[in-house]
Structures are given as C-alpha cells and as structure tokens.
Structure 1
C-alpha cells in the first residue's frame, strides 16, 4: 500500500549529486549528518495503547521503505559564524512526496517527524527535535524567501527563542509552481560552538 502522494511535476530546484564537492563560501566538510524520521507522537503512560503503538510503528516503517530519499540520513557541511556552528545539508532532498500527503498521514495515525542531528562517535550525543503536522501546515502558509523556500524554525519550547541552548533546526520547503504542492528541500542545524563541542565523542 502506498501512503505518500507525489507532486505532479518535478521540483524545479532539484540538483543532481556530483562526486566532486563544490561547497558554498566558508563551508567545509563535516562528519555529522541530518535525518528526518517518522515516529509515533510522544504521549503519557496513562494514554499508551500497545496495539495502537504497534500500528504506528508499522506505518512509520512503511513510510521509510516507501521514500528512502526523504528518510535516509544526509551528509552536511559546516561553517562558523561568530560563536555559532551552522550545519547545512550538502544536497537537497530529491523526494517528490508532497508535504501535504505526509501531513494527512501524520494526522490519521498520530505520528510526528523527528528531526535528527547525528554526531559521529560511540559516546557522542545526538540532537533530536520534533516537527508536527500543524507546524508544517503553518510553514506552508508563509511567504517564500528570495530563494523560493519556506522555512520552519524548530527548537525546544523551554529554550530561549533568541539563543536556544540546544540549537535550532531549519526545515525548508519548496512549493511546486505548477501543482501548488510542497516538497521537502533541506534540514539544517545551528548551534553554539560551546554546546556542540560538549556533545561530540571525546574518544
């Protein structure tokens, strides 16, 4: 059974991955990665239903199999700006699945998207922030920037909005001018150098 619906035409911002890296000015290679991951929505122990949870896990596994271009981990590049490290997805998502169809699935099965920043090393700590269907729908209503992208800023609600201790994820969406549907473009991560350094493997 297919869950995700594709946009009717190819995203005109798509680029083909090349073997020779050509990084934007100031960026360098990084061993870290980013990943979008469908997951059951966190709930309290009192509301937990074992059978419903198994169904959610099955849906999430099916989504990952159906669209590996969207849910596989992606390499990133990095640059330093003042005391902040800005990690940028090296190549944009090539998935044609629409954000709208994924939102419908998330609503129907009470799931979310985990936005993961993955650090190398056996004792490194990764960063994970949650994206909901409501957040995606709000982002799709926004005006596109000069690069024709709509950006969703994700951070912990307990963090300071101007200087979040755990950093911020930026999930970018691109709208197809022909169909009006949206696709995922990239997932980026910004975090302070001091916080980031503490989370890397020390061995």
Structure 2
C-alpha cells in the first residue's frame, strides 16, 4: 500500500473516533441531569450510526500491515491503542465547558452537547477534505454519506444553541477558546494520523 492509502484509512479511523467518543462525557451523567438532552442524544446516534459504520468498514481493509509488541495486528488495534490521544481531545472540549463557569449540572451538559455538535461538524468537514485528497476517486461515495450527516449537524447545532441558550451557533463560535480548541484538535488530528502510521506500520510495509 502507498503512503496515501495508509493516510486515507487512518483518516477514516480517526474520523470514526471523533464520532465514537461523542457519547463518553454523557455516560457519567445522572438521568435527571440529562433531562431534555436524552432525546437529542438519541437523534444524534441515529444520524451518526451509518457514517460511523462505514468508517469502520474502511478501517478493516488494510489487513495485518501493523504491529504492536512485535505481533501483527489490524488497523483497529492501532486505533484502540490511540484512545488516550482521542480522550485528550475530549478533555480539551470539556475544559471549554468548565471555563464558562455554568453552575447548573444540566446546563453544563447542554453546553457541552452544543459544543460537541459543532465540533462534530468541524471534524467531518475536515475529514472529508483530507480523505478526498488521499483518495480522489472515492469523493462521490463519501459525499453521499457526509452531506446528510453534515446537514443534520448544522441544523442540530443551531437548534440546540437556540433551545438551550437562546443564541445561534454562530454566536457560540464567537467564544475564542471554543474556536481555538477546534483548530488545535484539527492540527493534532492530522499529526496523529502521521504519528500512528510511523509508530505501528510494519517495517516491511514502509
């Protein structure tokens, strides 16, 4: 496989992580703390399921071209090993929420939800551009998956910001810390793809 092909497949892998990690901060919440948010989380899951499954299918294609502790492994094993990096992105986003000094726990989760929906949109647009650069011939198939998902995110982001905080998504993004955090994670996302290939690709494949 070429360098571009490995970048493409790991791009799919870390795009999957961005969707998969979305639910983690809400898992520790009490039922009453999620309150109005549970319906929203269920709707997000419905829309995210299809594209997340497609990314995982792509990740399975390279086979055992990688190694961990001198054992041949799949790309998914490399992604699992990369979980601490992905968790660090989530902690950065949670820190943005804490910086708002919102006292009510339900409101904290509502703010985090709005922030994460915006981040999901930012990341899927970023991933689409990156994947198209690595595999231009897959552009149409990817577009058919991304467009409905991105449209949902755009609408859901604005609706949630209005519903919970009486502001637009655009107004939310005037928060410099939120905007910079999106940008920093995007830079790290690209770097993580390169670092993961170097770390886990078997020497005979390089």
- Superposition TM-score, scaled by structure 1 size: 0.25
